[in-house]
Every structure is written in C-alpha cells, then in structure tokens.
Structure 1
Amino acid sequence: MLYFSSKEHSALDSYVAVRMRNKERGATLIELLVGLTIGLLTISVGLGAIMMSRGVTTTVSDTTTLQQQASYAFRVIGQQLRQAGGRPLNAAADPRDAATFVQPTAISLSGLPPIAGLDAPTASQFAISLRSVNTSESIYPTPPSSTPITGYLTRDCLGSNSGIASAPIILNQFRKNGTDLECSNSIGDVQPIISNLVDIQIRYLQQRLNIADSQPQFRYASAANLSSTDWPEVYGIEVCLELEGEQLIDTVGASYTKCNGTTAIRGNKLRMVFKNVFHIRNHAWPKAIS
C-alpha cells in the first residue's frame, strides 16, 4: 500500500487539476479556422462532382432526345419519299408474269410532279411536296373467311388514308414552322412531327443519260437548279436536319458544321446535325441528253 505525504498530495492534486482544465478547454481560433477550411474544401469538391455529373446527365439526355427525334423524322419522311410517284399495279393472271403499272387516268399523276420543293420557303410554304396515286387493296381477314375486303394499306405522313373518293392523290408536304417540323396530308390536316428543329435543308440527286458515252450522269441540285422538266429525273433526296437541345450547357466556344456547310458557334445549347439520303423506288430511267 502506497502512502503520499501532504506535499505529494498537493502536487498530485495540482496535476489532476491541470489535466482537467486542459480537457475542458475549447478549440482555439486557429483550430476552428483549419476545421472550417477543410470542411469548405470537402463541400466544394462534392458540389463540383455534382455539377459535373448533372452536366453530363443533361448532355446525354439531350443527345438521346435529339437522336430519337431525328430517327422518327427520317422514318416518316423516308417512307413518303420512297413512295413518291407511285402508281398501282395491274393484277397479273400468273405470278410469273411481269407486273405493269396502271395507265394514266383521271386520278393519275398526269400533269402533277411527283416531287417539288423550295429552297427558301416562307412560313406558309412547304419545303418539299410528294405525290403518289392512292389505291385500295384486297385485304383477307383471318380464316376461315376467304372473302376479301377492300382497304387502304398506304398511309400518309399522319398515318391516315381517307380513301380514293376524297384523296385520289396522296399528298405529303413538309415544312418548318417555328421549331416544329410539320406535315400536311391530302385533306389539309397539319400536325407537327418533331420539335427542336433549327433548320431543314434538302438536296436533290439528279440522274441523266449522256448520249456520248451512254453512261448516266449524276449531280446534287437545289430546287432552284431544277426546271419543271427536271423533277422526273430526281432519283434520290438528301435530307439534313439541324436540331437544338433544351438544356443550357457550357460548350466553351465549340463550333459545328450546319446543314448548309457553314461553321457556327454552338452557343450554350447542344446542336446536332443529321443527314440521310433516300432513294425513290418509282424512279424511271432518265431521258437522254446530248
């Protein structure tokens, strides 16, 4: 058993008192400043990561939206472009017989260009107009019935067909109205197909046969370069769409190439340009040129 003298007890009490005071003492000003600095740095790093993640998410979301809109627009426009100038076929007695087109009638395309366009249309005009002859089809219902019914498998750009009586010619017209790409059908219904549209540019692929070497000649042409007799020689169409995202992003002065071939600054929104070429299925061999 240990015994302490009064002097030793006094020293021990002093030591304990000092230790207790040290434990009860708060942080110094320097310690507080260091702690605040570390905390602010941690918050800054966290906020930076959140902002970067949000920016990437916004860009990816806008990119996906614009790609989906362009894909849908090309699907609708392409379907009608391929059908431009189309006429119904005569029924063949034997499947091995060559198919022939129905000859021009009062409801044919006679006198009407299957394709027509404008390079700089006004707000009320259409950039491109496409025509084909409407036709009914024999549709066979599900067995056991074998009696065909008359229906319309061909659809316009709005997914409808009002019938030969009201629309002997299927007309599809496309134009830019504000930021919408609109389509008008044979009976005058107009609906937007996609939004976020900045510009639509169309070039025409013209084909002619050169008598000198019996070889076809090809060229890209604008609507202004095509006369009234040149439109039947158009065998393909290039469609270019420029779309703009909805979210504000930092593009740091990045540039891009527009549909008309010029370079422009992206600004503070995502800009994307899409091009596609469509072949016209009903294009006949062109006339010869000297």
Structure 2
Amino acid sequence: MMHTSSTAHSAFNSYIFSRMQSRERGATLIELLVGLTIGLLTISVGLGAIMVSRGVTTTVNDTTTLQQQASYAFRVIGQQLRQAGGRPLNTAADPRDAATFVQPTAVTLSGLPPIAGLDAPTASQFIISMRYVNASESIYPSPPSSTPIEGYLIRDCLGSNSGIASAPIVLNELRKNGTDLECSNSTGNVQPIISNLVDLRIRYLQQKLNLADKQPQFRYASAANLGPTDWPEVYGIEVCLELEGEQVIDTVGASYTKCDGTTATRGNKLRMVFKNIFHIRNHAWPKAIS
C-alpha cells in the first residue's frame, strides 16, 4: 500500500510539473504573426478613417471659404454696379414739374460712360469701370459738423466717400491682379477685395431700340462689341468668378465648367464657379458719349 501511494503521488507531481512547463512556454511564432497581422489591419482601418475624415473636412473648409469670398465679392461689386449711372433727384425743383436730376458741378456727364470695360485688360488696366453721381443724404440726427463725411450713405468699393467737392463722380474699377480681385476708387487707392481668384469674366446686357418696328432688342455683348454710344444702353452686367481652394485634395477624374464655358479638370484642388447678374441705374445718364 505504501508503494502504491508513493507512485500516485509521484504521478501527480509529474502532471503538475508538465502543466507548469506548458504555461511557461509562451506564444508560438505563428501565434505572434497572427497577432501582428490583426494589429496592423486594425491600424490600417483607423488610419484610413482618419484620412477620409481629414479629406472631407478639408473640402468642407475650402468650400465654405470660397462661398464666403464669392458672397462678399458679389455684395461689393453688386452695390457699385446697381449704382452705375445713378443720379440723385433734384429735390429743390417744383414738385409739380417733371422730375429733374442733379447735374454735378464742373463735370460733363456726356464724356463719362456709366459703364466701360475691356475684354482682355493688361496687368495695369481694369476690366470694368463704374461711375455714378456722388450725393450726400439727409441723416437724422445730423452728424457732427467736424465729420461731414459721415453724412454720406454712398460708399465706394473700399467703403469710403471723400465728399462731393473732391469727387463729384464716384468711380470704381475692378481688375484681376494675380490671384486677387482688386478695386480702385475715385482717389486712386487700390485694395484687394478677395483672393483665390483664378478667372474673372464679364458680359454686358444691352437694350437697343429697333428703329424699324420700335421694339426693344436685347443681347449679350462683350466690351469689344460695344461702341462709345452703346455703353449707356447697357442695363445689366453678368459677373463670373472662378475661385480655387488652397488645399490639395483627390479630384481624379473630376471636371468642371469654367467661366468661358469650356470644361477642364480640377487639378487636385477644389474649383468653384459663381455667376450673378446685376441691373444698373443708367436710365438718367446722357446718351451722347463723346
């Protein structure tokens, strides 16, 4: 009996020792490779999700920026274009008479078209010029006499007004300078309005009277199609802005339509085209342009 008990005890110890050796053996090479593969796949999926999220965020940011710039540019340009050819009413005239318009002192309007432009301006030229008669407005309560300029609600493209004495005609001119859209005012100050500009195109809407049937005729015209006597007949302006984002994005196979109507690839950057049409106030402007 003693011998049997000793044998059983020895067998039990051998079993425990073998289990301990099995536990201390660790992972095999195959198990290690499988673990590494699973880990790499997890990291790859995570990195892919991060890159997709970053690309979407970049596109959204660029889109928002370009939309904001286009909106601001159209607000500034539209304010000046709608005023082009504008003349204030002469409130001192007898109200029983036909309405008369203020004639600026020492300025001949017939020699200054309300709208004028160039289809292919040089770097120093402006693509479009806009003019209207300067005027002060009644503001209540009246501004302090030391700041008479605050009595002017009319503002040029740079947000200023130097007064009737120095600028009886408000002049605003636009041009593309590199990637900036610049505006010049009556005093010759030039400042950028927006950046990221790739292209700026302008078309003119002209209304002519057909002498044969006395019916108005409408047409789109370029600056080259408009002679000296045609500019006062321009009643609307179509402005097209092409803007480019700053971040590099994946645009493989993507294309867009440019301001000139042609199709082009995006070139790994976000490109957006914005168009707007503005009607102008040139009906009181003299027809005879010298």
The answer to whether the superposition gives a TM-score over 0.5 is yes
- Deviating more after overlay: 81-90 vs 59-68: 81-90
Q: What displacement does 1:215 show?
A: 2.2
Give the whole-Å Cα distance in 2 for the aligned partners of 1:36 and 1:56. Answer: 30
Please give the alpha-carbon distance, in whole angstroms, between the structure 2 residues aligned to 1:284 and 1:161: 22
**Deviation (angstroms), 1:40:** 0.2
AA partner of residue 264 (structure 1): A
Q: Which residue of structure 2 aligns with residue 137 of structure 1? A: 137
5+ residue gaps in structure 1?
Answer: none
| Secondary structure class of the residue paired with 1:137 | coil
Q: Is the 8 A contact 1:84 1:131 kept in 2?
A: yes
* Preserved contact between residue 105 and residue 168 of structure 2 (Cα < 8 Å): no
Distance 1:266 1:96, change over 3 A: farther
CA contact (8 A) 1:109 1:132 kept: no
CA distance in 2, matches of 1:192, 1:105: 31
Aligned to 1:89: 89
1:154 equivalent in structure 2: 154
After TM superposition, the structure 1 = structure 2 runs for residues 69-80 of structure 1, keeping only pairs within 5 Å, are 69-80=69-80
Cα distance in 2 for partners of 1:103, 1:5 equals: 130
The CA RMSD measured in Å over matched residues stands at 2.4
Give the stretch that moved more between structures: 7-16 or 179-188. Answer: 7-16
Q: Which residue of 2 aligns with 1:174?
A: 174
Q: 1:99, CA displacement in angstroms? A: 3.7
Q: CA deviation at 1:141?
A: 1.1
Maintained 8 Å contact 2:205/2:221: yes
Deviation track 1:210-257 (CA, whole Å, cap 9, x = no partner) reads 233332111100001111111011000000000000000010131111
Match of 1:37 in 2: 37
**Structure 1 residue 285 displacement after superposition:** 10
Do residues 67 (structure 1) and 67 (structure 2) align?
yes
Q: Give the direction of change, closer, same or farther, for the CA distance of 1:286–1:172 in structure 2 (3 Å limit).
A: closer
Secondary structure at the aligned position of 1:243 is classed as strand
**Residue in 2 that maps onto 1:123:** 123
What does residue range 172-211 of structure 1 map to in structure 2 within 5 Å?
172-211=172-211
Structure 1 residue 203 displacement after superposition:
0.2
Extract unaligned runs of 5+ from structure 2.
none
Distance 2:70 2:96 in 1: 40
* Separation in 2, partners of 1:220, 1:233: 12
Higher relative contact order (CA 8 A, sep 6+): 2
Q: Percent sequence identity over matched residues?
A: 85
Q: State which drifts further: 192-201 or 86-95.
A: 86-95
Distance 1:286 1:135 in 2: 18
In the alignment, residue 36 of structure 1 is paired with which amino acid? Answer: L
Residue of structure 1 equivalent to 2:101: 101
Q: Is the 8 A contact 2:137 2:153 kept in 1?
A: yes
Task: Give, in whole Å, the separation in 1 of the partners of 2:13 and 2:88.
Answer: 113
Cα-to-partner distance string for 1:174-227 (whole Å, 9 max, x where unaligned):
000010000000001110000000000000000112233332111100001111
The residue identity in structure 2 corresponding to 1:41 is L
Distance 1:227 1:93 in 2: 34
Aligned to 1:257: 257
Q: How many equivalent pairs are there?
A: 281
1:229 aligned partner: 229
AA in 2 matched with 1:140: Y
Over 3 Å counting, the alpha-carbon distance change for 1:97 and 1:42 in structure 2 is: farther
Distance in 2, Cα, partners of 1:64 & 1:81:
25
SS at match of 2:62: helix
Which amino acid letter does the alignment assign opposite residue 33 of structure 2?
Answer: L
How far residue 106 of structure 1 moved from its aligned partner, in angstroms, is: 2.2
Letter of the 2:119 partner, please give it.
D
**Structure 2 partner of 1:212:** 212
Kept in 1, the 8 Å contact 2:87–2:284? The answer is no
